[in-house]
Structure 1
Amino acid sequence: MVNAQEYIENNFPKDVIEVNAANKDLEGHLDLSKYPNLTKVNIGINNQLTGLKLAHSNQIVWMSIYGTRIDDFSFLACMLNIQTVYLSQSGEKIGDGPGNAYIAKAIRESCQENYKFQNSLRQSNQTQLDQERKKNSDNSQRIKELEQHQIKELYNITFSNSTYNFTNLKNDIIRLKFQELAPQVRNENANLVQLIFEAKNKAGNLSSIVNLILETQKQIIQNSVKQEKLSSQIEACQTILASSLAKEELQILLNKQIEVLELEKHLESIQRLINEH
C-alpha cells in the first residue's frame, strides 16, 4: 500500500491541472486543497482510499472516485464547475448518462448558488466591518479632540495669562505634584518613626526583632528575595514578639511602612521627571 498524500505530493506539482492516480494502491485520506488549478481528478480503483478534501471553489469538471472507500461526499460542495462524477462504490456516472445529467447540474448549480451567497455574505460583513472601523475611528478622534479641549480649559483656568503649551502644562503639573507630595512623605515618615519607637519600647530586649520585621517586609515589597521565605520569617518574628507587642499593633506598623515606601517611590518617580526637564 502507498500513502495517498505522499504519492500525490511526490508526483504532482501544486499547479498541475490534472491528477491521474487510478489503480496506484493508494491508502488513507487525500487532501488536494493545495491544488487549486485542478480540472480533472482520477483516483479510482484504490480500495483503501478513505477520504478526500478539495480546494475551496476549485476548477474541477471531471472526477472519478470509483472503487474507493470514500463515503463522505461533502467535497462536492466545493465543485462549482463539475460536469461528471464517478461514484465510489457503484461506479455510477453522474452527469453524462441519460437521467443522470440533472444530478451533476444540480450539484453544480447548488455550489454556485452557495458560493454567490457566501461571497455576498463576506462582502456584506466586510462592509459592516469597514463601517464599524470608521465609526470607531471617528469616535476616537472626537474623544481626542474633547480631551485636548479639556486640557486647554484646565490650562486656561490655572494659567489665565499664558498661551497654551502642553509641555509647559505637563511640567507645571509635575512641579505642583512634587510640592504637594514632598511634605506628605515627610509627615508620614515622622509617623512611621514614632510607631517604630513605640514598638521598640514595648518589645524591650526584643527591639531588634522589630527592625528585622521591617527590613524583611521591605525586601518583600522590593521583591529582592523569595516572598514565601520572607513571609515565614515575618510570622516567626511575630510569634517571638507576641508576649510584648499585640499582633494588631504590629500590623499597624507594617501597614504604615508600606504606605511610606509607596509614597517615597512615587516621589522619586516625580523627582526623576523633574530632573529630565
Structure 2
Amino acid sequence: MVKAQEFIERKFYKHVNEIISLKDDLEGHLDLSEYPNLTKIDFGYNSRLTSLKLTHSNRITWMSLPDTGIDNFNFMAETPNIHTICLPITEGVSNYDYIAKALRETIESENPNSTRSRNNDNSQRIKELEQLFAIVQEENQSLQGQIQQKQQDISDQQSQINELSNISFPNNPYNFIKLKQDISRLKIQELAPQVRNESTKLVELITKAKSKAGNFSSIVDLTLETQKQIVKNNETPQQYILSGKMEAYQTILSSNLVDEELQNILNKQTEVLDLEEHLESLRQNLNK
C-alpha cells in the first residue's frame, strides 16, 4: 500500500499526457492539478484511492476509475470535453445511477452565478452557430446554382457534340476518337492550301527584299532565321541574345529597306510558322 500522491509524483513527470496506474495499491487522496497536459487517466483497481482532484482542463477526454474508493465526482466539472469515462460501481448500483450521481454533483458544484454565466455563453454561442449556419446555407445554395449551371453547360455541349457526330457518322454511336480524326482531316484539307498560298507570298516578299538589299541580301536570311529561333526559344537569356542580333541585322538593312518592308516580311513569316505548326498538329492527331 502506497500513498497515491507520492507514488504518482515519483513515477510520472508533470508534462505527461497520460497517467495509467492500474493495481498499484494506491491509497488516499490524489491531486493532479500540476499535470496540465493530461488527456487520459486510468486508476482502475485501486480500491483504497478515495478522492481525486483535477485542474480545469479541456484536454482530458478519457477517464477510467473502476474499482476505486472514489465516491465524490466534483472533479468532473473540470473536464468539459470528457467523452469516455468508466466510474466505480458498488454492488446493487447501476452504471446509470453512478453517472447520474456524477452529473448531479457536477451541476451542484457550480454556483448559481457561474451557471447563469455559462447559460449566457451557451446562448451566445447558439446565436453565433445559427448565423454561421445561415451563411453556410447561403453559400451552399450559391454553389448548388453554379453546379446546376455547369451541368447545363456540359449537357448543352454534349448535345452539340452528338449533333456534330451525327453529321459525320450518321446512324452510328458517338465515338470521340473518330470524330476528332474526322475534324482534323477536314481542317487539314482547309489549312494545307492556305499554308501553300501564304508561303508563296512570303517567298515573294523575301525575293523582293533581297533584291533591294543588294550586297546585304544574306542579312535578310539571317534576320528571318533569327526570328524563327526567337519564336521557338522561350529561354530568357537566349531571347536577349537573339533580340540583340535582330536589332543589329535590322540596323544593317535599314539603309536599303524601310522598316515597314522588313516588318511585313517578319509578320508574314510568323503567320506561316503558326499555320505550319497548326497543320503539323492536325496531322499528328490523325495518327493517335
TM-score w.r.t. the length of structure 2 is: 0.60
**2:32 and 2:55 in contact (8 A); partners too:** yes
The reply to whether residue 232 of structure 1 matches residue 244 of structure 2 is yes
Counterpart of 1:47 in structure 2 is none
**Displacement of 1:82 after TM fit?**
11
Match of 1:256 in 2: 268
- The amino acid of 1:163's aligned partner reads N
Tell me whether 216-225 or 198-207 shows the greater mean CA deviation: 216-225
Structure 1 unpaired stretches of 5+: 1-9, 23-31, 43-53, 64-80, 85-94
Alignment of 1:192-271 (within 5 A): 192-223=202-233, 226-271=238-283
Deviation at 1:108, TM superposition (A): 1.6
Q: Percent identity?
A: 38
Superposed CA deviations along residues 81-128 of structure 1, whole A, max 9, x for unmatched, are 9999xxxxxxxxxx75xxxx53x3443223211221233334334434
CA distance 1:62–1:198, change in 2 (3 Å) = same
Aligned partner of 2:172 among 163, 180, 188: 163
- Asked if the contact 2:202/2:269 (under 8 Å) is kept, the reply is yes
2:284 corresponds in structure 1 to 272
Matched, 1:20 2:37: no
Aligned CA distance change for structure 1 residues 14 and 217 (closer, same or farther; 3 Å): farther
**Aligned residue for 2:49?**
none
After superposition, what is the alpha-carbon deviation per residue over 1:141-184, rounded to whole angstroms, capped at 9, x for unaligned? 2222211222233344x448543524333222111001001111
How many pairs were matched up? 209
- CA 1:35/1:227 → structure 2, altered by over 3 Å: closer, same or farther? farther
Which of these residues, 127, 138, 143, is aligned with residue 153 of structure 2?
Answer: 143
Is the CA contact 1:82–1:108 (under 8 Å) kept in the aligned structure 2?
no
Q: Using a 3 Å threshold, how does the CA distance of structure 1 residues 147 and 35 change in structure 2: closer, same or farther? A: farther
**Structure 1 residue aligned with 2:144:** 134
2:168, 2:182 within 8 Å by CA — same for their partners in 1? no
Residues 220 and 227, structure 1, Cα contact 8 Å, conserved in 2 = yes
Flag the 1:198–1:162 CA change in 2: closer, same or farther, 3 A.
farther
**Which amino acid is the alignment partner of residue 261 of structure 1?**
L
- Which of 119, 122, 129 does residue 119 from structure 1 map onto? 129
AA aligned opposite 2:184: I
| Length-normalised TM-score, structure 1 | 0.63
> CA contact under 8 A between 2:209 and 2:220: conserved in structure 1?
yes
- 1:172 aligned residue (182, 186, 197): 182
Unaligned runs of 5+ in 2: 1-12, 20-30, 41-53, 60-74, 80-105
Structure 2: distance between partners of 1:220 and 1:83: 83
Q: CA deviation at 1:237?
A: 0.9
Mean CA deviation greater in 245-254 or 221-230: 221-230
Compared CA separation, residues 179 and 162, structure 1 to 2 (3 A): farther
> Is the radius of gyration larger for structure 1 or structure 2?
2
Which 4+ runs in 1 deviate beyond 6 A? 34-37, 81-84
Report deviation, 1:260. Answer: 0.6
The answer (yes or no) to whether the contact 2:14–2:34 under 8 Å persists in 1 is no
Distance 2:271 2:210 in 1: 20
CA offsets, 1:168-209, max 9 Å, x none? 332221110010011111111111111111111111111111
Q: Would the aligned equivalents of 1:40 and 1:60 in 2 still touch at CA under 8 Å?
A: no
Q: Is the 8 A contact 1:83 1:105 kept in 2?
A: no
After superposition, what is the alpha-carbon deviation per residue over 1:43-77, rounded to whole angstroms, capped at 9, x for unaligned? Answer: xxxxxxxxxxx88xxx99569xxxxxxxxxxxxxx
